[in-house]
Structure 1
Amino acid sequence: MQTFLGKATDTDWFGPLIVVVIAVAAIGSIEPSFLSSFNVQVLLSAIAVNLVIALAQMIIIALGQMNLSVGAIGGLVAIAFAGMMEVWGLPAPLALILALAIGTAAGLANGIIIARTGISAFIITLASLSFYKGVNLGITEAQPFYGIPEAVKAFGNTNMLGPIPWLVLPAAIAGLFIWYLLAKLRVGRQILAVGGNAHAAELSGISIVETTVWAHGLSGLLAALGGVMVVARLQIGQPSIGDDWLILSFAAPVIGGAVLAGGHVSVAGTALGVVVVAIITQSLVLFHIDPFVVQIVLGVLILWAVGINRWREVRVERRLRRA
């Protein structure tokens, strides 16, 4: 038992899991409505959407880079998805496929420019953030699309089992896929290798260009999925979708143990990081606390997570010295 606990404390998900358990118990005892069926549904819907957003950033963090355009890609895809159904009258499945293709193409464009030019991902994705947002506003003229089919609305606002909404399904599939990709598939291993040490990865025969393009393409696909899910949840194609994704997309992976320098991320840890943020946000609403406090808390959580990661690194270094 002690050995298991000792190993568990060294994992990325243990700290966030303890926070989740304590938070749920404490808030549930103070405010019983927190554990009501309706509130659980709302909480799970938020977690589902935010998990996909966090995974879109996590895959780039694994590469040792960052994607500032995650929200802009998601927002562009959201209005494209809604617009194709309202203006062009496309059926939802076809609009979904085209919308995901747009997001993937946007991510691939980021990756190709970064890989071919050697310019920092920070600069390229900052520029693409402005570009994609400009296209968004140019298409919509800052006006939302309202013609969302009833089937899409139902998917975003009904449950498949008890208080578990349908939105959990695509989020779970995305999480399992990214876990399998990083743990079992060659491209996932290559992303982690490049993030850990790009020079060593290149010497071992890994193509930095191809790996970078793959990672950003996946990030664009996940951001696109997040945008579609938000449209289904809000029942509207709002041009402002994605504007507030940036902090969340970094906070959850970092809380979940991701190393910003690259080479190490955790899907389970990221998922729990998303749960921590969702619980904090929902509890502030229940207790009627001003929304700006959420931003303050997220900043504190990021600093806490980075501190925990550094403490863990120091422990590992000490063990290696003793050995």
Structure 2
Amino acid sequence: MARLISQSDWATPMIVAVSLGVLISLFNPAFLSTFNIQVLLEAVSINVLIALSQMVIIAIGQMNLSVGALGGLAAVIFAGLMEVFGLPPIVAGALALGVGLAGGFLNGLLIGLTGISAFVITLATLSIFKGLNLAITQAQPFYEIPDAVKHFGNATLFGPFPIIFVPAALIVVLLVVFFNRLPVGRWLLAVGGNAHSAELSGISTAKTVVIAHAISGFLAACAGVLLVARLQLGQPTIGDDWLIMSFAAPIIGGAILAGGHVSTVATVFGVLIVAQITQALVLFHIDPFFVQVVLGLMILAAVSVNQWRELRMQRAGQE
């Protein structure tokens, strides 16, 4: 068992996450308080969906700059449908998730049809989705969120475990199965590893790109909907600060930006590491904006480690 763990992609980020938690708690025992753990798990529940929405795209060797804009659009649609049209939360949520799925599908379709890089396409759709967001909200939040939604976003199941942790955990499990057991998950990794070889093996690159972006849009919308429940309002700025976080956690988790290798579980631990650092800054009364500096440094360090690991593997293969 110990050998299996040590050889897993998520072993290193898990050790870092646990060590970081122990270190912070030694300097400030309040870190392990019930309230702080609840706040930490609430942040992880949202951020893990944001990170996974980018991780799916990294798997095919692309990037999605519109993650935050699409998640934010789904969030305000969810809130707006409940406030303006009085739709039940389940119906409004389903439609908001459908918007995320459709937006992701549009990204993938445009990339597949035009052959233009995902960077350019998603940069353009970022502007489109954000523009739609502001057109719908007029830059004003939706405040009339049903009590049931507010309760779902802030209540706990038992102890410090928030209810919103449940859908996030379920999605993590589904993605683990998706990448490890389902052929379509293997297609994504194959395309990311070598698109030409994947085509020769009978895998449609264009179809795979559409599937990846559709999943990414759906996950971003899930994050947006859960964030509305947690914040208890439909804020038009939701998603504006997601981009760095969406890249940081998968990269810390060992994802290769060129594609072909990602780890869902390692990404979860990457999210936990970032969340712990953010909480530590609050507990030690350090300017929370400093977290952006820390995230940037962590991304540089993780990319450097991944690059070193890749070069080492190539040299080992040549010997």
1:53 match: secondary structure: helix
Is it true that 1:168 corresponds to 2:165 in the alignment? yes
Aligned pair partner of 2:93 in 93, 96, 113: 96
1:180 to 162, 177, 190: 177
Quote the Cα distance in structure 2 between the aligned partners of 1:280 and 1:66: 25
Please give the TM-score of this superposition, normalised by the length of structure 1: 0.96
Aligned to 1:127: 124
Q: Which residue of 1 aligns with 2:140?
A: 143
Matches of 1:155 and 1:283, distance apart in 2: 26
Q: Does 1:70 align with 2:67?
A: yes
Whole-Å Cα distance in 1 between the matches of residues 127 and 7 of structure 2?
A: 40
Distance in 1 separating the partners of 2:8 and 2:292: 27
Determine if the alignment matches structure 1 residue 270 to structure 2 residue 237.
Answer: no
CA distance in 1, matches of 2:165, 2:261: 25
The answer as to 2:198 corresponding to 1:201 is yes
Q: How many Å apart are 1:311 and its aligned residue?
A: 2.5
SS of the equivalent of 1:100 reads helix
**1:243 aligns to what?**
240
Alignment of 1:1-323 (within 5 A): 4-5=2-3, 8-322=5-319
CA distance in 2, matches of 1:232, 1:213: 29
Structure 1 regions of 5+ residues with no counterpart?
none
Q: What is the DSSP-based 3-state SS (H/G/I as helix, E as strand, rest coil) of the residue aligned with 2:299?
A: helix
User: What amino acid is the match of 1:263?
Assistant: G
Per-residue deviation, residues 219-252 of structure 1 (Å, max 9, x unmatched): 0000000000000000000000000000000000
Taking only aligned residues, the RMSD between alpha carbons, in angstroms, comes to: 1.2
Report the secondary structure of 2:157's partner residue.
strand
**Distance in 1 separating the partners of 2:5 and 2:170:** 25
For the 8 Å contact 1:192–1:264, the answer to whether it is kept is yes
Aligned residue for 1:137, secondary structure, equals: helix
Letter in 1 for 2:143: Y
Instruction: Name whichever of 241-250 and 285-294 sits farther off.
Output: 285-294
8 Å Cα contact 1:10/1:312 also seen in 2: no
CA distance in 2, matches of 1:276, 1:282: 10
SS in 2 for 1:249: helix
What do residues 298-320 of structure 1 show as CA deviations (whole Å, max 9, x unaligned)?
A: 01111111122123223323432
**Residue 132 to residue 108, structure 1, CA distance change in 2 (3 Å):** same
Separation in 2, partners of 1:176, 1:9: 21
Q: Partners in 1 of 2:117 and 2:81 — Cα distance?
A: 34
Deviation at 1:268, TM superposition (A): 0.8
Counterpart residue identity of residue 159, structure 2: G
Distance in structure 2 (CA, Å) of the matches to 1:53 and 1:109 = 19
Residue 160 of structure 1 aligns to a residue in which SS? Answer: strand
Indicate the SS of the match to 1:232.
Answer: helix
| AA matched with 2:199 | E
Q: Is the 8 A contact 1:63 1:192 kept in 2?
A: yes
Q: CA deviation at 1:26?
A: 1.1
TM-score normalized by the length of structure 2:
0.97
Q: How far did 1:22 drift?
A: 1.5
- CA deviations over 1:50-102 (Å, ceiling 9, x no partner): 00000000000001000000000000000000000000000001111111001
Counterpart Cα distance in 2 of 1:212 and 1:256? 22
Residue range with higher mean Cα deviation, 103-112 or 177-186: 177-186
